[in-house]
Amino acid sequence: MPDDNRVATREAEWSRWMAAAQDGDRAAYERLLREILPFLRGLAGRYHRTADQREDVVQDILLTLHRVRHTYDPARPFSHWLATLASRRSIDALRRRGRTERVEVFDELAYETFSDPAANREMSARDEAPGLHSAIATLPEGQRQALELLKLRELSLAEASQLSGKSVSALKVNMHRALKALRARLKGD
Amino acid sequence: MPLSTDLLIARLAASAAPVRRLRPPLLRAAFWLAGVAAVAAVVVPLYGDFALFDRRMQDAKFVIELAGTLLTGIAAVIAAFQLSVPDRSPAWAWLPVPPLILWLAASGYNCWRDWIAVGDHGWRLGESAACFATIVGFSIPLGATLLFFLARAKPLAPMPVAALGGLGVAGLAAFFLDFNHPIDASFLDLGWHVAAVGLVIGCTALAGRWRDAANAQAGRPSER
């Protein structure tokens, strides 16, 4: 069977390279690590769906292989040694992820969402600051406009000046007064 | 991307110094056991009571218990060495189970017989506390050297390796204890033995876990 032959040749080659690597042959080691990458990616892919998780595990396997490379016995099949090590590390990564996901929530749109509901309430209470909107509403027209343009719409001074027809220095003064007034009012609440 | 796999491989290859290959696990186990036997040959005559030992050897139950402790010790040590390298079958962990059953059954039977003969006196504390101290005292030097040997393999799953090592050490310690053990075990004795074995296994397993955590930290590349 040609297929069996190919597997046997590959096995012998890997085993020889690993033995050479143990003796300090860096070129053989690098060739071996590159050669086994598809095998490792395939194996890690069985446990991990997304590409970056899989790649993380592959790197972890490579580091482990490096650390325990003295335990390989060239008289025994290399792929078995490698596969045991790789599945062990893949499963370890699964467990680690399980532990992380129990306490952390990932949500791109709401990155400050915590899995503990009480923490969310505390954070949103700080964000919403119910008094803030009514405090802004009571500001004099000039100050309110400066705040709106510069802070809420995040325009530059030049843009805000163009839009409102006021000078840059007038905007600066109004902005400064608006913040001072808001600070005083919110502290008083 | 934290660190590309390509770059990682290049770095690993660049830092690949020659390593000394680990000998086959069975050979390493034999080597360690031979060392223990050599030390025991010197130490046991110092404290052993051979007249008492000969008298107790007349009792088949005692012989079975003695064989049980020794075989449990040897089997568990062999299993620990086998499991310390990645590509050995996890089934090795079962190797010490048959002698362990023999050990527990024999000492359990002795306890029961002792209870019938001596009655409630077997429940007194005293002698048995000394046995506890002996088992732990033997186990510390044995365990430390064994752990050192096992750690050379940097086992991927240190907990079962350390637990098997602990069982092996406890079995050997119980075996050496029998060279100066005036009475058959009572229930309380058995309790002490179980507690001592549990303590030794627990300590070595914890040491293994601690090593694992240290390794996991050292194994991470600093770039991440």
Q: Is the Cβ pair A68, B86 closer than 8 Å?
A: yes
pTM: 0.69
Mean pLDDT of A152-173: 87
Q: Please check whether residue B177 is in contact with residue B134, taking contact to mean a CB–CB distance below 8 angstroms.
A: yes
Q: What angle do CA A135, A139, A144 make, to 5 degrees?
A: 105
Q: Which residue of A has its CA nearest to B2?
A: A56
Mutate to test the interface with B, among A33, A71, A76, A90 (most CBs of B within 10 A): A71
Which chain B residues have a beta carbon less than 8 Å from that of A53? none
8 Å CB contact of A71 and B154: yes
Residue B120 pLDDT class (50, 70, 90 cuts):
low
Residue B23 falls in which region: left (phi positive, over 0), alpha (psi -120 to 50) or beta = beta
SS3 B41: helix
Please work out, in degrees rounded to the nearest 5, the angle formed at the alpha carbon of residue A178 by the alpha carbons of A173 and A182. Answer: 155
Q: Where are the domains of chain A?
A: 2-103, 130-187
Q: What dotted CATH number matches A2-103?
A: 1.10.1740.10
The architecture that CATH gives domain A130-187 is Orthogonal Bundle (1.10)
ipTM (interface predicted TM): 0.73
Among A27-31, B87-91, B140-144, B202-206, which stretch is predicted with the lowest mean pLDDT?
B202-206
pLDDT at B201 over 60: yes
SS3 B90: helix
| Residue B223 φ/ψ, nearest 5 degrees | -70, -20
| d(C-alpha A138, C-alpha A159), whole Å | 25
B22 and A71 within 8 Å at the Cβ level: the answer is yes
Query: How far apart are alpha carbons B216 and B157 in whole angstroms?
Result: 11
* pLDDT tens, residue by residue, A91-130: 988 888 888 777 776 666 555 566 677 776 766 666 666 6
Q: Which residue is closest to A20 within chain B, CA to CA?
A: B18
- Do residues B221 and B8 lie in contact, with contact meaning Cβ atoms separated by under 8 Å? yes
CA distances from B41 to A76, A119, B33, B133 (A): 36, 66, 12, 21
Task: Choose, out of B87, B88, B154, B209, the residue to mutate when testing the contact with A (most A CBs < 10 Å).
Answer: B87
Report DSSP letters for chain A, one per residue. Answer: -HHHHHHHHHHHHHHHHHHHHHTT-HHHHHHHHHHHHHHHHHHHHHH--SHHHHHHHHHHHHHHHHHTGGG--TTS-HHHHHHHHHHHHHHHHHHHHHHHHHH----SS-TT--SSHHHHHHHHHHHH-THHHHHHHTS-HHHHHHHIIIIIS---HHHHHHHH---HHHHHHHHHHHHHHHHHHHHH-
Contacts of B5 in chain A (CB under 8 A): 37, 55, 58-59, 62
> Could you give the CA distance from residue B180 to residue B138 in angstroms, rounded to a whole number?
13
For residue B220, what pLDDT band results from cuts at 50, 70 and 90?
very low
